[in-house]
Amino acid sequence: MSLKRAKITGVGRYVPEYVLTNAELETLVDTNDEWIRSRTGISERRILKDPEKATAFMAEKASREALEEAGVDASEIDAIVIATVTPDYIFPATAALVQKRIGATKAYGFDLSAACSGFLYALSTGGMMIESGRAKKVLVVGADKMSAIVDYTDRTTCILFGDAAGAVVLEEADSGGLIDFVHHTEGDEDCMLYQPAGGSLRPASIETVQNRMHSLRQDGRSVFKKATEGMADVSLEIMERNNLKGDDVAWLVPHQANLRIINATARRVGLSTDKVMVNIDKYGNTTAATIPLCLYDWKDKLKNGDKLILSAFGGGLTWGAVYLEWNK
Ligand code: COA
């Protein structure tokens, strides 16, 4: 068994072409561009319009790009972990569909459900597979077609979410790579953020459809408070236990749920806004895809040796952080 760390060797992404602007949302619900931008930082989000395409389609596209950048053939992949709360089906897993479509003939794969923290949970899971020596090359994907579970008559949620996928290839590192992670979970029995129906507790029925129970519901104010505390706390926790000060960190890579949550996290950990990756204005909250979308958008700026703190908060409730040293 080796004890090698894992590092990211390729990043890919897929964003649908269709741009849903704040102006278009004004035609659907009682809202306005100024409210959305000032309360969330979002100007537009992407929507996968084709009803025949869903999360596996986006995950496949992102995976192919990540593999190409890494110079890794799909047949070399040992395992595929896909974080999503909008799988194509309850089963089979989205990872199984992607395994077949990209030709990852020797890989096993599974989906991981941790909502907006999903990519970080998946990244650390893939990292541990490599650290244990059980896997040499792992594909980690965060992908969500949020438009499939958003209620476009609910102005408090429909303005927030978009569709996208991001993927990374993990391989053994000689130095740097994924150094540490911290994850937390606190069962959301109060249903602050959840999809009421479609699971085994409330399977689809006329009643669940009529009451729009297959769409996500959120107590925005409570989630906002929890997310602001959780993202800042977990970012500080991982920095303190690795003796990192704000000046040591090259980039904070926060989950993109709300610009005010991102800014509060940056303030708490002592990072100026020019060291924080923010692209929420273009994509909104794409759930498991936000963090790889940031890595993708910033990849030309990342230098070997840069210390990155990735942090997220989401439904579950789940929150977590990953400390990695960029080394590609
Ligand atoms: N357009 C216009 N007004 C809106 C609106 C919209 N889209 N959505 C809500 N409002 C109204 C509310 O009805 C409320 O009106 P009232 O004061 O007359 O009751 C007012 O705006 C303020 O609502 P509030 O919920 O307090 O706003 P907020 O500042 O908390 O912002 C969210 C709402 C959803 C943007 C914010 O709570 C949030 O980002 N929550 C966390 C989201 C999140 O992180 N979710 C995923 C976890 S990863």
pLDDT in tens, 178-228: 999 999 999 999 999 999 999 999 999 999 999 999 999 999 999 999 999
Which of the residues 255, 258, 294, 327 is marked catalytic? Answer: 255
> What pLDDT is stored for residue 231 in this prediction?
96
Q: Assign 161 to helix, strand or coil.
A: strand
Cα–Cα nearest to 157, from 212, 94, 118, 201:
212
Write down the mean pLDDT value for the chain: 97
> What pLDDT is stored for residue 328 in this prediction?
83
Instruction: Please identify, by atom number, the ligand 1 atom nearest to the C-alpha of residue 227.
Output: 44
- Among the CATH numbers 3.40.47.10, 3.30.1490.20, 3.40.190.150, 1.10.1040.10, which is that of 180-325? 3.40.47.10
For β-strands 44-47 and 18-21, DSSP reports them as antiparallel
pLDDT in tens, 25-75: 999 999 999 999 999 999 999 999 999 999 999 999 999 999 999 999 999
pTM: 0.96
pLDDT in tens, 120-176: 999 999 999 999 999 999 999 999 999 999 999 999 999 999 999 999 999 999 889
Q: CATH topology of 5-173 equal to that of 180-325?
A: yes
Q: For the domain 5-173, what is the CATH code?
A: 3.40.47.10
> What pLDDT is stored for residue 14 in this prediction?
98
> What pLDDT is stored for residue 3 in this prediction?
72
258 near 228, Cβ under 8 Å? no
Domains of the chain, by residue range, sit at 5-173, 180-325
Angle of helix 290-297 versus helix 118-132 axis, rounded to 10: 80
Any residues with Cβ below 6 Å from ligand 1, and which? 31, 35, 39-40, 116, 155-156, 159, 193, 218, 220-221, 223-224, 227, 257-258, 285, 313-314
Per-residue pLDDT at 2 exceeds 60: no
